[in-house]
């Protein structure tokens, strides 16, 4: 491996892809060797640095992931489910690090990623930020102290272009709640359709008129222009509630975490890891 870590960004023209490229451009630790989009992307042939608003140029966006893998120490991937699954196969063949920020996978997809992790070092997380991963631990510990007389509402707010719901982060929060309460999330989760909002939302309160049964783990999703990603967990009991929230003010926190994960994975054995592993929680 070279002194700099050679990085390929999969989903290079997306919001997270551009943020990663900006950070790589300003770093002495990483080298952008390829920028990947789907073959039908309108950005094919465009300069990745230019699309990201950087002052330098030199890496054209293309769809040749096979060639990119051969010159990469790590893939950082915020793309789509199909693209990520394909990339995981290639990262396994090349035995390199694959950082996955893509969300929306089902159990079958997770099994495919787990299979790839027999040969690749895969770090997969629905949220790469330090603060959010700290919240996961806090939520799990709080859940251990509560009985089934409490209902739990997990709310998430994202930009209008986000397709999957609830977010991967919201589902991770639900999983940590369920682990703390020693229950099966699949038996308790209740998922509502996303709501488009224009005004600010108070994440410390349950949506007005929303009724949950005791013991439910509810998921409310909101879509609002230009929101990076906000999450909260509300434990509601009899005449009291506990509200825990994480507010993301910039995408750079996710890019920082993804690059940290790419560095962390360089000397790790193949396997499936999370940001909790990277951060040592």
pLDDT digits (tens, 9 = 90+) for 91-127: 999 999 999 999 889 999 999 999 999 999 999 998 8
205/267 same-domain check: no
pLDDT above 70 covers a percentage of the chain that reads 99
Distances (CA, A) of 56 to 25, 48, 210: 8, 10, 50
Residue 22 sits in a domain of what CATH number?
A: 3.40.50.720
Is residue 2's pLDDT more than 80?
Answer: no
Shared domain for 71 and 158, answered yes or no, is no
Domain containing 238 equals 130-248
C-alpha to C-alpha distances, 102 to 7, 149, 208, 237, 276, nearest whole angstrom: 17, 35, 31, 34, 17
Statement: residue 203 has pLDDT above 50: yes
Whether 235 and 261 share a structural domain: no
State yes or no: pLDDT of 191 exceeds 70: yes
Distance CA 11, CA 79 (A): 4
Distance from C-alpha of 197 to C-alpha of 159, rounded to nearest angstrom = 10
* Low-confidence winner among 49-63, 235-249, 260-274 (lowest mean pLDDT): 235-249
User: Same domain for 171 and 112?
Assistant: no
252: three-class secondary structure by DSSP: helix
d(CA 184, CA 203): 25
> How many structural domains does the chain have?
2
Residue 1's pLDDT is: 45
More confident residue, 90 or 206: 90
Distances 187 to 178, 191, 215, 257 between C-alpha atoms, Å = 10, 12, 10, 32
Chain mean pLDDT for the chain: 94
For the question of residue 158 being annotated catalytic, the response is yes
162 is catalytic: yes
> What value does the mean pLDDT take over residues 257-270?
96
39 in the same domain as 114? yes
Question: Do 233 and 143 lie in a common domain?
Answer: yes
Provide the pLDDT confidence category of residue 280 given band limits of 50, 70 and 90: confident
Q: Which long-range contacts (CB under 8 A, 24 or more apart) does 192-200 make?
A: 192/218, 192/219, 192/220, 192/221, 193/165, 193/221, 194/165, 194/221, 194/222, 194/223, 195/220, 195/221, 195/222, 195/223, 196/160, 196/222, 196/223, 196/224, 197/157, 197/222, 197/223, 197/224, 198/224, 198/225
pTM, 2 dp: 0.80
Does one domain contain both 32 and 120?
yes
- Identify whether residues 29 and 137 lie together within a single domain: no
- Find the helix or strand (DSSP H, E) in which 61 lies: strand 61-62
Q: Which residue in the list 98, 124, 158, 165 is annotated as catalytic?
A: 158
CATH number of the domain where residue 201 is located: 3.30.360.10
**Same domain for 255 and 242:** no
Predicted local distance difference test score (pLDDT) of residue 36: 98
Task: Please identify which of the residues 124, 162, 188, 231 carries the catalytic annotation.
Answer: 162
């Amino acid at each position: 491996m070279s002194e700099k870590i050679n990085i390929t960004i999969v989903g290079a023209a997306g919001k997270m892809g551009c943020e990663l490229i900006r950070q790589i451009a300003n770093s002495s630790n990483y080298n952008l060797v390829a920028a990947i989009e789907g073959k039908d992307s309108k950005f094919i042939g465009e300069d990745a640095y230019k699309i990201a608003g950087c002052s330098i140029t030199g890496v054209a966006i293309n769809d040749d992931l096979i060639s990119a893998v051969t010159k990469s120490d790590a893939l950082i991937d915020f793309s789509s489910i199909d693209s990520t699954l394909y990339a995981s196969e290639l990262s396994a063949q090349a035995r390199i690090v694959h950082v996955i920020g893509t969300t929306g996978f089902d159990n079958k997809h997770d099994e495919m990623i787990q299979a790839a992790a027999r040969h690749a070092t895969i770090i997969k997380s629905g949220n790469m930020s330090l603060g959010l991963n700290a919240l996961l631990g806090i939520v799990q510990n709080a859940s251990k102290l509560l009985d089934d007389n409490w209902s739990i509402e997990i709310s998430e707010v994202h930009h209008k272009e986000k397709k999957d719901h609830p977010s991967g982060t919201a589902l991770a929060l639900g999983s940590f709640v369920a682990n703390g309460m020693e229950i099966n999330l699949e038996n308790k989760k209740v998922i509502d359709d996303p709501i488009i909002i224009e005004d600010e939302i108070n994440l410390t309160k349950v949506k007005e008129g929303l009724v949950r049964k005791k013991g439910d783990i509810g998921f409310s999703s909101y879509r609002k222009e230009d929101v990076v990603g906000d999450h909260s967990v509300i434990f509601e009991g009899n005449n009291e509630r506990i509200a825990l929230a994480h507010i993301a003010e910039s995408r750079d926190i996710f890019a920082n975490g993804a690059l940290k994960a790419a560095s962390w994975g360089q000397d790790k054995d193949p396997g499936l890891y999370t940001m909790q592993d990277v951060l040592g929680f």
